[in-house]
Amino acid sequence: MLIGQQITVLGAGIAGLAVARALALRGARVTVLEQADAIREVGAGLQITPNGAAVLRALGLGDALAVAGLASSGVELIDGPTGAMVARLDLSGLRPGQSWHFVHRADLIDLLAQGARDAGVEIRLSHRVTGLDLAPDGPVLTLASGTALRPGLVIGADGLHSVARAALNGPAAPFFTRQVAWRAVVPAEPGARPVAEVHMGPGRHLVSYPLRGGTLRNIVAVEERTRWVEEGWAQRDDDLEVRLAFEGFSPRVRGWLDQIGDCWLWGLFRHPVAPVWGRAAPGAPARGVAILGDAAHPTLPFLAQGANMALEDAWVLAATLAAEPDLGVALAAYQAARAPAPRASWPPPPPTRAATICAGRCARWRIWAWARCRGLPRGGCWHAMTGSTVRT
């Protein structure tokens, strides 16, 4: 049982706020430590597929999602140079009660933050954690101010460069995938259809869909290249670069790119899945550390599942902690439920042109890759997006 248990969550992102509300609803006393001085808009659009929407409904936030998001009617694969339709995934076939939404990341963060506060979660801003010591008698957090904290359970939802992940697993060794991505938001054309369009060409592809009631259009454009680019979303780029990269695409795509003002570029790096997702302190078995979301299994942006997997992690972690009084057993059950099957080796070989969704002009491969590979790490198939992994 979690009633009265003190839990500290690192990071006020999607994973951190979701797990904070899930734990607080089960009776825990939750504090979220966020290094920024405000919960600001980060990134742009994202897709909440049925598995993620099921978690939000289970958290009591389904109505808020319906207000903040735009219901999707389909996914279309389009030949980039000609604009010709390759295939369409019609979402009218979703089961009753399921939904697929396009949401601005800032709006999702806002509804999760409000939901966490409504559940009694305390969110402390300007609290940057610089160290985490896994002492035998429990974790010790060190803040940038020099303050040391000794919470009962620490949950690391602190992203790619997680302090909690490093404490559990040591340093990781990501590698550049030889792909970069531009991200931008532009005004949407009147009557923009609620469809995710994937425009594909040799060595590049572009995904776009409307946001905020169809007033904005989200754009993520990916290009294969050998030149290294820094990881992260904070690197500005000249909008001319993305226009040149896609100058051979259809007038529709070029028209979107001509509207770009602020353009952000980041290098896509592959990070290994963390070997250890949680550990109880040997000298104090009721205290320990766990990780979730990008801290546990960083994802590339091709499958629209990063936010959805973070939501699923949050639900499963909270449920296992509530169901199992032994922290070590609970954390082992959580990892067993969520972690992918072990890989034979790391790192895997660098991706080839034929192994990307936008590879070449082979329509059969592109259709198979999109339909087959948009699921979770363990299942990896379409039923993983139906919400069947969440029991409400």
Query: What would the pLDDT profile of 269-298 be if each residue is shown by its tens digit?
Result: 999 999 999 999 999 989 999 999 999 999
pLDDT digits (tens, 9 = 90+) for 186-241: 999 999 999 999 999 999 999 999 999 999 999 999 999 887 766 665 677 778 89
From the list 209, 249, 256, 334, the catalytic residue is 209
Residue 296 belongs to what domain range?
A: 6-73+98-173+272-353
Examine the domain organization and report whether 332 and 286 are in the same domain: yes
Report the CATH number that the domain containing residue 191 is assigned in CATH.
Answer: 3.30.9.30
Choose the final residue of a domain: 217, 249, 270: 270
Residues 14 and 56 in one domain: yes
Query: Is 82 among the domain residues?
Result: no
Residue 302, pLDDT score: 85
Residues 276, 266 within the same domain: no
245-249, 311-315, 341-345, 354-358: range with lowest mean pLDDT: 354-358
Is the backbone peptide bond immediately before 347 cis, with ω within 30 degrees of 0?
A: yes
In a domain, 191, yes or no: yes
Indicate whether 180 and 39 sit together in one domain: no
Same-domain check for residues 163 and 266: no
Residues 300 and 343 in one domain: yes
**62 shares its domain with 207:** no
pLDDT at res. 324: 95
Residue 383 in any domain: the answer is no
Q: How many domains does the chain have?
A: 2
Average pLDDT for the chain = 86
In a domain, 370, yes or no: no
* pTM recorded for the entire structure: 0.86
For the chain, the straight-line distance linking the first and the last C-alpha, in angstroms and rounded, comes to 18
Q: Which residues contact 81 (CB under 8 A, 6 or more apart)?
A: 201, 248, 249, 250
- Same-domain pairing of 216 and 279: no
**CATH code (residue 113):** 3.50.50.60
Residue 373 has pLDDT above 60, yes or no: no
Q: What confidence score (pLDDT) does residue 360 get?
A: 36
Residue 184 shares a structural domain with residue 243: yes
pLDDT value at residue 42 = 63
Residue 37 lies in a domain: yes
Q: Mean per-residue pLDDT for 339-356? A: 52
Whether 369 is in a domain gets the answer no
Q: Confirm whether 209 is a catalytic residue.
A: yes
What are the distances in angstroms from CA 347 to CA 123, 173, 177, 221, 342?
37, 8, 11, 25, 12
Is 85 within a domain? no
Give the CA-trace dihedral at 156, 103, 380, 23, to 10 degrees: 40
Rg over alpha carbons for the chain, rounded to the nearest Å, is 21
What is the arithmetic mean of pLDDT over 111-125? Answer: 97
Q: Is 243 found in the same domain as 165?
A: no
The per-residue pLDDT for 239 is 81
Phi/psi at 86 (nearest 5 deg)?
Answer: -100, -45
Give a yes or no: residue 46 inside a domain: yes
Q: Indicate whether 135 and 46 sit together in one domain.
A: yes
* 207: helix, strand or coil: strand
H/E element, 79:
strand 74-79
Q: Are residues 308 and 341 in the same domain?
A: yes
Give the count of beta carbons closer than 10 Å to the beta carbon of residue 162.
Answer: 26
Q: Angle 328-333-339 (CA atoms, 0-180°, nearest 5)?
A: 120
